[in-house]
Every structure is written in structure tokens, then in C-alpha cells.
Amino acid sequence: MSIEHWQTILYPYRICLFLENGDFFMYNCIICRYHEIATKGNNRNMFEKCLVDNIRHALRPVSGECKVRRIRGRVWIEPGNGGNFDETLLAQIVERLPDVFGLESFSPAVLLPVDMDVIRQTAVEMAPQAFERCGKEHPAFRVRARRSNKRFPLTSKDIEIDLVTAVADKLGEGAFVIDLKNADITLGCEIRDEFSALYFDIYRCAGGLPVGSNPRVLTLLSGGIDSPVAAWQIMKRGSPTDFITFHSSPYTPPETVDKVRGLVSTLNKFQRKGRLFIVNLAEFQKAVRDNCSERMRTVLYRRAMLRIAEAVALKEECKALVTGEALGQVASQTVANMDTINRAVDMLVLRPLVGADKLEAIAVAERIGTMKQSSVQVPDSCTVFAPSNPATSVPVDLALKEEAKIPDYAGILEKIIADIEIDA
């Protein structure tokens, strides 16, 4: 998992440049780039449509004020009135776009005609302010041109040389050094069939696939650090998720569920609202306490959680379960116990953090805004009647034997499922 890569803002957040005469140089479009979707074959259209829908949804508070269009390999956002973005609108869009999975990066830009004289003139007008805000005396500068319009008379290389030369003429000898690899300032230029665009800033997004391009899943969400991160990872791969949480009222306080509600609301920023299924496991836990070996309690709880989650998923048409389990993290996450827990259900269980260290999970939790909420200490359902010395290897036949000791195991789960509350 490349955490560093995510949302690196390469340049300081600025929404407009100044012209020398003091007027605002306002942007009139945002170029949105995607990567993985572009590698898709026949179903690429479905992914692109889903991405555009999700961008519109993310921008819904301001959607009346802008147009979102898909034009060959890019999504373009423009002000609805055809003019320039005003500062407030641009700031709102810049704040929301990084949460849209499938996007690789975006750049506020100036849309221009396909005319080298106009492009050059505009680049020269934009450059002084970009250099000024960089703040370095002899910054490293480069131009990156992309030309999808093959009828344009200049090659990408020619365009780059033309623009560097024009900027050098404007700023004077020695204003910058050219460095194609480690530039402090990059001027981007795109030449398309219908228009061209110039930009200085690249905002990185999370990448992945648009939410909705894969089937809906159900995430087992505790109040811990890992499961919110797991839900985020799965949304990032295109699956919208509902959530299911287990509490043990009256042995856990209402705050246990309130904390999870808070996490759900943070995670729903990345998708169209997912529902929360709230399950009281206390009756089952009492039955385990009264009938089963103490050291096996946690494994038995987890098997019941998966069974209940599977029943909900089947009813709600979720195609897989998701957990925040990481191999070896605690006694219930040894290979032996994960195997025994897994065998409680037939449904696919996705464990995106299985190979992650705690520090990696924490780094993502910080980025996505769940860390603070997860750090609030409230009692967890799993700690109710929890053994002080849990078994690290419970073979599946032993788990089955213990479960058989519980009078009416199936009836208890049925009753619990019938009593599930739903936050829609």
C-alpha cells in the first residue's frame, strides 16, 4: 500500500494566479485524470460513467453551478455559466474531489483555443505569479506537454521548448534552471482536438475504482482503528458498503454504538450513504459464558458475528463480508483461529488489512479522518466476558463441539437477527 502516494499536494493550495496588473487570473476548468480505469477494456465505458456520476454526487451542494463532462480519457469540470470559477466555488470543488475514488489527480486550469500564439501568451502571463509563490531564487522549472491532437503542427517536445523559451524571455536570463526530473515549478500543457489547457497545480487523489463499479458488501465495523480503514480500502476498490456493528447492551454503554455511528458518517463521505445494522450480541455471549470453555469465547463470538453478518448480507444483497483483521494481531487472528472463524460462513470474507502493520493502518486512518474517532476509549462488545488468556489455536471441530453445548444456538441467533436495528 503506497500511503505516501496518497493525496500528496505537490504545490501549495492556491486557487488563482495574479496577472502583473493586479487582476485575478481565474481558472475556467478543472482537468480530472484517472489511471486504472483507462486500462479497462470493453467495460471502460461503465467505469467512466460511474466516475462521472460519483463526481456529480460529490459536488452535489454546488452541482447547479458547474458542468461535468467526459471527453476522451479525462473528465472536465467547468462553471455552469461558461465563465471563470469564482474563488468560493473553486475552493468547494477542490475540497471535495480528493474523496472521489477512481480519480488519480486533478488540476485547476485555463482552457484556451488550440492556437500556439494564445497558449504562449497565456503561459507568459501566468508564469511570474507561479514563480513568485514558489519563493526560490533560481527554481527548477519544466514544461510538460501532452498532445492528443495529432494534427497540431508542433510535437510535445516542440511545445515544451517553445514555452520554456517564452517564459525565459519574459523572466530574464538566470530566472530558473531547467530540471526535467526534480522541478520546483511545472507548467502543464494539454493540446486536445477541441481546446488546449494550461495549469501549474496537481492535486493527487486516492486512485482506485469508482464506488459502484463493484458489488455492494457488508463491513463488520467495530469502534477500533482497523475496520474503518478496511471499509475505506474496499470502497476504494469500487464496492459500496453497508455496515454492521455488534454491541452488548447492557454490558456496553450506548456510547459504544454512538462511536460507530460517528465512524459511519465519516466513511459515508466516500460513497452514497451506507446503512448501519446494529446488533445486540449480549444474549449469545451469556450463553457462551454459561456453557462453553472460557478460553474459546472470543473465537465463538467471532463465528457468531460472521454468521449474523452473513444472514444480513444475504437478505440485503451484499455480496461479501469485510473485516479489519490483520494476521497475528491478536489471539483471534492467528492462522488457526482465522481459519476456524472463517469456516462459520460460506460467503466470501474480504480482509484488506490482512498483511498490514498497525502503523500502516494508523497512517491511513489519519488520512481518511477516522483516527480521532477510533481513539476515543469506549467498552467494546468483544471484551464482555472476555477470557484473560484466550486460546490461540481452536480447531474447527472443537469450536463446533463447544457450540453444540449451547442450548438452541440457532434460536438465539435468530432472535438476535430479528431484533437488529437499522440506521438508514
CA angle 173, 129, 29 (to 5 degrees): 125
E strands present in 200-317: 203-204, 217-220, 241-247, 276-280
Give which of 340, 304, 323, 316 is closest to 414, Cα–Cα: 304
Considering the rule CB under 6 A, would residue 235 count as an interface residue with ligand ATP?
no
Considering the rule CB under 5 A, would residue 221 count as an interface residue with Mg ion?
no
Q: Which of Mg ion, ligand ATP, none binds 337 (CB below 5-8 Å, type-dependent)?
A: none
Coil vs helix vs strand at 307: helix
Q: Which residues contact 383 (CB under 8 A, 6 or more apart)?
A: none
Q: Does the bond joining 61 to the residue before it have cis omega, within 30 degrees of 0?
A: no
Considering the rule CB under 5 A, would residue 263 count as an interface residue with Mg ion?
no
Considering the rule CB under 6 A, would residue 190 count as an interface residue with ligand ATP?
no
Considering the rule CB under 6 A, would residue 373 count as an interface residue with ligand ATP?
no
The distance of closest approach from Cβ of residue 21 to Mg ion in the complex, given in angstroms and rounded to an integer, is 58
The secondary structure element, H or E, covering residue 145 is strand 140-147
Give which of 386, 222, 380 is closest to 298, Cα–Cα: 386
User: In this complex, which beta carbon is closest to Mg ion, that of residue 291 or of residue 329?
Assistant: 329
Considering the rule CB under 6 A, would residue 285 count as an interface residue with ligand ATP?
no
* Cα 167 from Cα 177, distance rounded (Å): 12
* Exposure of 273 in the CB half-sphere (CA atoms within 13 A): 6
User: In this complex, which beta carbon is closest to ligand ATP, that of residue 163 or of residue 300?
Assistant: 300
**Range 317-376, binding Mg ion (CB under 5 A):** 329
Considering the rule CB under 6 A, would residue 227 count as an interface residue with ligand ATP?
yes
Q: Report the residue number whose CB is nearest to ligand ATP.
A: 224
Q: Return phi, psi of residue 139, to 5°.
A: -65, 155
Considering the rule CB under 6 A, would residue 340 count as an interface residue with ligand ATP?
no
User: In this complex, which beta carbon is closest to ligand ATP, that of residue 182 or of residue 377?
Assistant: 377
Among 205, 381, 402, 413, binds ligand ATP (CB under 6 A): 381
Q: Which residues contact 302 (CB under 8 A, 6 or more apart)?
A: 332, 341, 344, 382
The distance of closest approach from Cβ of residue 381 to Mg ion in the complex, given in angstroms and rounded to an integer, is 14
Among 160, 226, 310, 402, binds Mg ion (CB under 5 A): 226
- How many CB atoms lie under 10 A from the CB of residue 4? 8
Among 71, 180, 330, 404, binds ligand ATP (CB under 6 A): 330
Instruction: Select from 64-72, 147-155, 266-274, 379-387 the region that touches ligand ATP (CB under 6 A).
Output: 379-387
- How many CB atoms lie under 10 A from the CB of residue 260? 25
* Cα 87 from Cα 79, distance rounded (Å): 12
Considering the rule CB under 6 A, would residue 323 count as an interface residue with ligand ATP?
yes
232 in Cβ contact with 64 (< 8 Å): no
Considering the rule CB under 6 A, would residue 109 count as an interface residue with ligand ATP?
no
Considering the rule CB under 5 A, would residue 190 count as an interface residue with Mg ion?
no
In terms of Cβ atoms closer than 10 Å to its own Cβ (0-12, 13-18, 19+), residue 377 is exposed
The distance of closest approach from Cβ of residue 301 to ligand ATP in the complex, given in angstroms and rounded to an integer, is 8
Instruction: Select from 17-25, 225-233, 383-391, 409-417 the region that touches ligand ATP (CB under 6 A).
Output: 225-233
Instruction: Select from 70-78, 174-182, 196-204, 380-388 the region that touches ligand ATP (CB under 6 A).
Output: 380-388
| # of chain residues touching ligand ATP (CB under 6 A) | 17
The distance of closest approach from Cβ of residue 261 to ligand ATP in the complex, given in angstroms and rounded to an integer, is 13
Instruction: Select from 87-95, 154-162, 222-230, 249-257 the region that touches Mg ion (CB under 5 A).
Output: 222-230
* Cα 420 from Cα 308, distance rounded (Å): 10
Among 224, 238, 274, 352, binds ligand ATP (CB under 6 A): 224
User: In this complex, which beta carbon is closest to ligand ATP, that of residue 84 or of residue 227?
Assistant: 227
In terms of Cβ atoms closer than 10 Å to its own Cβ (0-12, 13-18, 19+), residue 136 is exposed
> Which residues here bind ligand ATP, judged by CB under 6 A?
220-222, 224-227, 245-246, 323-325, 329-330, 380-382
